[in-house]
Structure 1
Amino acid sequence: MSGHVPVMLDQVVASLAPRDGGTYLDATFGGGGYANAVLDSARCTLWAIDRDPEAIQRGASLVARFPGRLHLLHGAFGDMVALLDTAGINALDGVVLDLGVSSFQIDAPERGFSFRLDGPLDMRMARHGTSAADLVNTLPENALADVLYEFGEERASRRIAHAIVTARLEAPIATTGKLAAIIRSVLPPDRSGIDPATRSFQALRIKVNDELRQIERALRQAVQLLSAGGRLVVVAFHSLEDRIVKRFMTELSGRSAAPSRHDPRGLMARQRPDFRLLTARALRPTSQEAQANPRSRSARLRALERIAVSAQQGSTP
């Protein structure tokens, strides 16, 4: 699995707590780092999903290392229930989701995810459908600005969108290098050292792959699959992802704020939650990991556990 460094690996495995005989899902297989560690930590069975066909191909060597224990499924994690159903799996003891882009994708110029090396403006994880080039060359200026603002939280979205639309009148924008240069031409360097093109590239990647809606679908389906005592572990890398995960886990564990005393819903008895939050606050990478792997610096880990029926019955109101 060279070229791929799994983020917060020890914390992920500790939070998932794999056990012998258990059945688990790595819904974002990527480079196989989590899958390898989970299978090494317990005599369990692991199913793994990835929408990138290249990730599935790379995983063949790991399947050979764990015969009968690792099973790969090609598809989007937002379709995990249907994908697992085809394999006869309808209950899991744990699910892990790493919402970051695989290092293999970032480091391959031909995939078009990064502006560090020039390549075609693609960004499609599944290798089909609308590409980033399609968006920047066809979206109306206002729609393009909305994408940059909504998915990249880019304050200068309208200025960038105008520059892109102006540039594409001369020639289509076909490469990561050209797009990054257009963005840098209208934005001053960031004091933090972050490249001015970072937020716009993030926005386009999220839009191309419908990532936020996929995350929402995956979270709902993951808890649907969890058996009593089963755990959901999620590693997010930016605020949009983490906000969705935090809200979902907070509500499911009954930690959301109570209704106002003026709200009629406040008169209704609150049901005992079916889940408990394992991370009161998101876990962060250690300083050593953040220094060794700069891509891990923004990572946030949150975990949730389905409460066993006996634990619910024995709890006090």
Structure 2
Amino acid sequence: MPYSRSSGISRRLVLGALAAMPTLPGLLAASAPAAAQSATPLASWNDRSAKQGILDFVRATTDPSSTDFVPPEERVATLDQDGTLWIEHPIYTQVVYCLDRVPVVVKEKPVLAKVEPFKTVLTGDFEKIAKLSLHDVEVILAATLTGMDVDQFYAEAKAWIESAKDHRWNRLYTELTYQPMQEVLTYFRANGYKTYIVTGGGQDFVRVYSDRVYGIPREQVIGTAGGVKYGYGKDGKPFLTKEPKLLLNDNFAGKPEGIHLEIGRRPHAAFGNSTGDQQMLEYAKGGDGLRLSMLVLHDDAKREYAYGPAQGLPDTKVGTFTQGLYDEAKKGGWHVISMKDDWKRIFAFET
């Protein structure tokens, strides 16, 4: 996921917006508690090699008599978010948030209503919006994600994520987390592992809901991070302002770099779903002892979405999983999780 060095905005988010905006019927989204977990480990998984690989790994690394035993302080598992823990199609949730914020930004600065690209976004014409240039979308993201107090951003993002809904299921986005992966988080933590989200999405954005939705405290979220500036209000109270300045591009090689900077330990297990996660999985697998690297393959158009282009699935700019990555996974001993075959259910609300 390359980024614009000038704005610090993720091109993954930009390209995802351009690719998927024509399919959006509205700008929505939202909040819901993490689903209750079954007492049976990985209850939403079918009894196949992926499930067994997780069970075998955790048992071996937490058994003091095993040659693969991992001391508790070294038990680290890192997981991508978009496409790994919750849906990312047809457009990244954070991009929807940014588009939905445009009317608010324009209300604060009315002159922008007659200025591109804000003028086009306000039309609601998704065919026109999809034709905006990369620079235009970067301008939108910068205007909606920066320039405000960090506390103001947190409050606004929290209010949005607690009310906005996905158009396909008409459910809060936070209800659209993958139940099998929620069970992975629970199972790992029950066995002494610290679970971290390592995402190409905005670090501040994911931290708004990570604890409530995934049981992962905000300090265990590593994401694309922008700069902040320290200052004082009229009352003398100090505050931080979000700036359009890139500090960490947390995608591709940026993921292991961010893991080192913010965790300081190489993960023993890593989960992803796209080319942007490859280096994180390589990094985890490259350590000594038993390691686990897993990729989620979206191959269930009926219950969720199907895209790759690995294994002949439709190509996409959102969550790209290439055939090269698939082949590398097989060669490197990584597990590829088939949504269609490995998961009994995808969402907690499924019967």
Bucket of the pairwise TM-score, normalised by the shorter protein: under 0.3
> TM-score of the superposition, structure 1-length normalised?
0.27
| Higher-RCO chain (CA-CA 8 Å, sequence separation at least 6) | 2
Larger Rg: 1
TM-score by length of 2: 0.25
